[in-house]
Amino acid sequence: MENSSKYLPHEGAKCSRCREKASICLPAHRACFCQECFVHYFENAVERGIKKMKLDRQKPLMVAVSGGKDSLATWQALHELGLNTKGLYINLQIDEFSPKSREAVQKFAQEQGLDWSESVLKTELGYTIPELHQKRQKKFCSLCGRIKRQLINRVAARENFQTVATGHNLDDEASRLLGNLIDDRQDFVKKQYPFLPSPHPSIPAKFKPLYRLEKKEILYYCELKNIQYLNQKCPFSKGATSKYFNQTLEFLEDKMPGTKRNFLYSYLKKEKKLVYEEPFNTCRECGEPSYMDICGICRLKNSLSRDDIKKL
């Protein structure tokens, strides 16, 4: 496993669940597991998240899949737990990256016999990610993130899904929480909850099934389930500051196992589920729901045609 001798079991370590030979130790849980019990532990953590967030298991779920480890592990675990799922892949049309991520999604779906949809950025927006990047480089990841979120909402609504699952994991959530608290972005802190109810009939609820699982656990689950994910970072993701918050928490986790988990869970205990206060309008250009009188996608399209994307 990735640079984690700490996760390798010591000589003679036994599985905390079945007492067979352990293959992984999780210091944050003071537990070791054999392969089979680790899979049980992993899927049980997803199941606990489903129960805690009171997700309706009977409703079909759309799973936003990028082809990376987190979203494919999310899809696999939800499928194993018997939920009715369909994948959604947003094709950002990034050379050398998107074709490989698309292939990972396609292969996974085919092997598991699962259905998926594809949304192509140029068709939806009129521009590919590299074309947008030529126009604006500053804070590009956050612009791309907003575009992906809007497209995920639209496709899910078009296909009548009321809930979308994403692959955000415990490490992502804990480092984002740290960043939001340091910058005192209270609005963002509220929107970080692992389940966000639907604020409008054509905007799906959001669920993060892996919020209780760490990156290293996800890597091991992928290995055991033989999930062939794309292990490559998006070429435009350089410069994202989230990695510093992540490294800070990793440092603390190394000295005090369980810190990341305690930090995130103590916030979740305190924070109530988000209740939307802002009323929704309808975009006067495309008719989609929007906080303002023109939605984010139309504002983006307009600014691209005027060439003042830098302001967005």
Residues that bind ligand AMP (CB under 6 A): 64-66, 70-71, 88-90, 92, 145, 148, 166-168
**Residue 144 touches ligand FES, criterion: CB under 6 A:** yes
In eight-state DSSP terms, residue 33 is E
Of 7, 78, 79, nearest to 45 by C-alpha is: 78
Rounded Cα distance, 121 and 119, in Å: 6
| Residue 37 interacting partner from ligand AMP, Zn ion, ligand FES, none (CB closer than 5 to 8 Å by kind) | Zn ion
The least distance separating Zn ion from the CB of residue 260, rounded to whole angstroms, comes to: 24
Residue listed under structure tokens 């060439």: 307
What backbone torsions phi and psi does residue 27 show, to the nearest 5 degrees? -55, -35
Whether 40 and 249 have beta carbons less than 8 Å apart is answered as no
At what angle are helices 35-52 and 215-225 packed, to 10 degrees? 120
Residue nearest to ligand AMP according to CB distances in the complex: 167
Nearer to Zn ion, 28 or 39 (CB): 39
| Residue 215 interacting partner from ligand FES, Zn ion, ligand AMP, none (CB closer than 5 to 8 Å by kind) | none
Whether 45 and 213 have beta carbons less than 8 Å apart is answered as yes
The least distance separating ligand AMP from the CB of residue 87, rounded to whole angstroms, comes to: 8
Contact range with ligand FES by CB under 6 A, out of 112-120, 139-147, 278-286, 287-295:
139-147
CA of 163: how far to CAs of 85, 135, 171, in Å?
10, 33, 23
By CB under 6 A, name the one of 195, 207, 236, 245 that touches ligand FES.
236
| Residue 194 interacting partner from ligand AMP, Zn ion, ligand FES, none (CB closer than 5 to 8 Å by kind) | none
Pairing of strands 289-290, 281-282: antiparallel
Strand partners, 188: none
Positive/negative CA dihedral, 258, 261, 264, 268:
negative
| Residue 213 interacting partner from ligand FES, ligand AMP, Zn ion, none (CB closer than 5 to 8 Å by kind) | none
Of 286, 63, 91, nearest to 166 by C-alpha is: 63
Binders of ligand FES among residues 247 to 306 (CB under 6 A) are none
Binders of ligand FES among residues 75 to 134 (CB under 6 A) are 92, 129
| Residue 236 interacting partner from ligand AMP, ligand FES, Zn ion, none (CB closer than 5 to 8 Å by kind) | ligand FES
| Residue 18 interacting partner from Zn ion, ligand FES, ligand AMP, none (CB closer than 5 to 8 Å by kind) | Zn ion
Nearer to ligand AMP, 166 or 175 (CB): 166
Nearer to ligand FES, 85 or 128 (CB): 128
Binders of Zn ion among residues 13 to 72 (CB under 5 A) are 15, 17-18, 34, 37
| Per-residue tokens: 177 | 């929480």
Residue nearest to Zn ion according to CB distances in the complex: 37
The least distance separating ligand FES from the CB of residue 120, rounded to whole angstroms, comes to: 15
Q: Quick one: 279 exposed, middle or buried, by C-beta within 10 A (0-12, 13-18, 19+)?
A: exposed
Strand partners, 118: 89
Pairing of strands 205-207, 163-165: parallel
The least distance separating Zn ion from the CB of residue 9, rounded to whole angstroms, comes to: 12
Residues that bind Zn ion (CB under 5 A): 15, 17-18, 34, 37
Residues that bind ligand FES (CB under 6 A): 92, 129, 140-141, 144, 234, 236-237
